[in-house]
A and B are shown apart, each in its own frame.
Chain A
């Protein structure tokens, strides 16, 4: 008695589906007909969600510059389609950012969403985007749970723990003695240190101690640095960004640690505007990151020149490259996509393959994070300008 009923119930949605498709096709047919039946003429609507105010303003500026540069180099077209970019301010945190992202999805009806610096915002926006089946290309936020293989979420940046782990073997082999770990006490800080610690101990490294400093309220690192000195630590691995990165690096030098305790860190410690503010205190700090404007390749040299010309003489940062690559990914995907709607873009994103980038070529892994090369970088002074010179590529 159950069987026929079940069969019938399966037929009803199928029939409705066919009906809906017919209606849809009829509707699309007329609109496409007006544009000469050519798919390539259809415009693609992209939502660009970047911080335009608050503490991440300079990151947002770099990313907007990288994104605009790519469009500029490609006649404002992605995959042969004209692009309409709708921008929104991500602000400082999820309370502003998630709402702005949701508005891009609902009110502006964008086909694809790009950007987001803050991990909390990225997690919220991801939920909204996946629910509406709109692809979301994450161009910075590094929290582990952002990219999980969902067909709608693709990250052109990094994972916090991946950055931490990338330098672990190098530290384990080149430091003679235990290493002290410290970071700002929030989710990202714990992911960086956790990723580093796991790989570091697996490589035979010994941990001298571990401390997490209150976030964001640590102005004075003296008590913590004294604690490091009291141990037999031969090196420190630390994660800080923004204002805390400036104070940490300066005080690390002020309290005399930089002379004999090598400082290792994820590259955000000395990336972009904070490096200039740190000044000479940053000299000799060794970091890991998937980019430096000093990468010595023809592709990167061309990129740096173009970026300087396009962005008021500024040097490109990792943030700029991540946004530049987000545009590149979208370019390749749209070139292969059947249309400019969300579903077509999402389907095409799984077929982008290798991406040529100033950071070196990379491709998406199973979780849709970049499978990329990290570089060991050291802060050096090149005639009054501080930069992150490449020491060597790090094998993962």
Chain B
């Protein structure tokens, strides 16, 4: 009981972080699982989302808290930018099946993109304002907790449920899963798989940008954030199992707790905890905790 008293806020914050981590990682996992493309420009796309949030919402001294409408507009704008980014990335990676070449190509794109971003927005770190009503702290059992983090957790859960329902319970979800399992067969029954998979790539990138925008009020927008986000996404996806949505959820929850409860408990080892957790998982479950039931991951 005493332990719970001392740590419940860490655990709540761990879940809030898990929500953000899931949003950031699920697009990467989806694209790898269905298209077999390792997209290292994922973090850069998320950073574009964060800067779109910063540009629309503002933040810092003298900035009024944006309305819910503005916030919605920022998220939608980020989603649209992500879609475009995804389409561009699809065209560039089309026909490249080798993972190393994919990684090099997308990493190069990421470096160029982050340089362009810091040139157009400046090197100064931006803070992003939370929307009105969510820009304050709420009371959780007597401890102050920022309301926006709870909202971000709720939004992530909602988006996660939508992804799950689309993939598992709709016609298009079934076709995507089928295309992953046997691309030729799907084409034979009249679906153009490039179009389909390009759409998945666009949605994956869009999710990254939305994740970046939603994370803005927590993580801010600054150069270098793209690398942090990419690293987190890779760790979450590797722990959960490449290409698996349920795995991304589990990986995000695990890393979320490691980054809060773990850091609080093992303060001295804080720097190594995330990679320590990943190493442990890889040692005992090399394919991740919940590898994809369908999809390319592990099938090579």
- Chain A residues near B6 (CB, 8 Å)? 226, 230
Interface size of B by CB at 8 A reads 37
Q: Is B61 an interface residue (CB 8 A)?
A: yes
- Chain B residues near A250 (CB, 8 Å)? 127
Mark the stretch among B28-36, B162-170, B259-267 that contacts chain A.
B259-267
- Chain B residues near A57 (CB, 8 Å)? 122-124
Q: Is the interface of B mostly helix, strand, loop or mixed?
A: mixed
**A246 touches which of B122, B127, B270 (Cβ 8 Å):** B127
Q: Are A219 and B219 in contact (CB under 8 A)?
A: yes
Q: Is A371 an interface residue (CB 8 A)?
A: no
In chain A, positions 235-262 with a C-beta closer than 8 Å to chain B are 242-243, 246-247, 250-251, 254-256
Residue of A with least CB distance to B129:
A279
- Chain B residues near A127 (CB, 8 Å)? none
- Give a binary string over A207-251; 1 marks a CB under 8 Å from any B CB, 0 the rest: 000010110011110111011011000000000001100110011
In chain B, positions 213-233 with a C-beta closer than 8 Å to chain A are 218-220, 222-224, 228
Q: Are A220 and B260 in contact (CB under 8 A)?
A: yes
Residue positions of B touching A, CB distance < 8 A: 6, 9-10, 13, 17, 59-63, 122-127, 129, 137, 143-146, 218-220, 222-224, 228, 259-261, 263-264, 267, 270-271
Residue of A with least CB distance to B5:
A230
- Chain B residues near A246 (CB, 8 Å)? 125, 127, 220
Q: Are A275 and B61 in contact (CB under 8 A)?
A: yes
**B228 touches which of A211, A217, A247 (Cβ 8 Å):** A217
20 CB < 8 A contacts A-B:
A54-B123, A185-B271, A218-B270, A219-B228, A220-B13, A220-B17, A222-B260, A223-B260, A223-B261, A224-B263, A226-B9, A226-B264, A229-B143, A243-B125, A243-B224, A246-B127, A255-B143, A275-B61, A384-B62, A385-B62
Q: Are A214 and B59 in contact (CB under 8 A)?
A: no
Residue of A with least CB distance to B63:
A279
Residue positions of A touching B, CB distance < 8 A: 53-55, 57-58, 185, 211, 213-214, 217-220, 222-224, 226-227, 229-230, 242-243, 246-247, 250-251, 254-256, 273-280, 384-386
Given A222-B13, A224-B263, A276-B61; 15 other pairs, CB 8 A cutoff: A58-B124, A217-B228, A218-B270, A223-B267, A256-B144, A273-B124, A274-B125, A277-B59, A277-B61, A277-B127, A277-B220, A279-B59, A279-B62, A384-B61, A386-B61
- Chain A residues near B271 (CB, 8 Å)? 185, 214, 217
Q: Are B270 and A243 in contact (CB under 8 A)?
A: no
Residue of B with least CB distance to A226:
B9
- Give the number of residue pairs across the A-B interface with Cβ within 8 Å: 105
Interchain CA distance A278-B126 in the complex, whole Å: 9
Residue of B with least CB distance to A280:
B61
- Chain B residues near A385 (CB, 8 Å)? 61-62
Q: Is the interface of A mostly helix, strand, loop or mixed?
A: helix
Residue of B with least CB distance to A249:
B127
Residue of B with least CB distance to A215:
B271
Interchain CA distance A211-B264 in the complex, whole Å: 11
* Cβ-closest 3 pairs across A and B: A256-B144, A223-B264, A254-B146
* Cβ distance B226 to chain A, nearest Cβ, rounded Å: 13
Interchain CA distance A349-B223 in the complex, whole Å: 40
Interchain CA distance A276-B61 in the complex, whole Å: 5
Interchain CA distance A385-B61 in the complex, whole Å: 7
Residue of A with least CB distance to B267:
A211
Q: Are A222 and B9 in contact (CB under 8 A)?
A: yes
Given A57-B123, A226-B264, A277-B125 in contact, is the A247-B143 Cβ separation under 8 Å?
Answer: no
- Chain A residues near B126 (CB, 8 Å)? 277
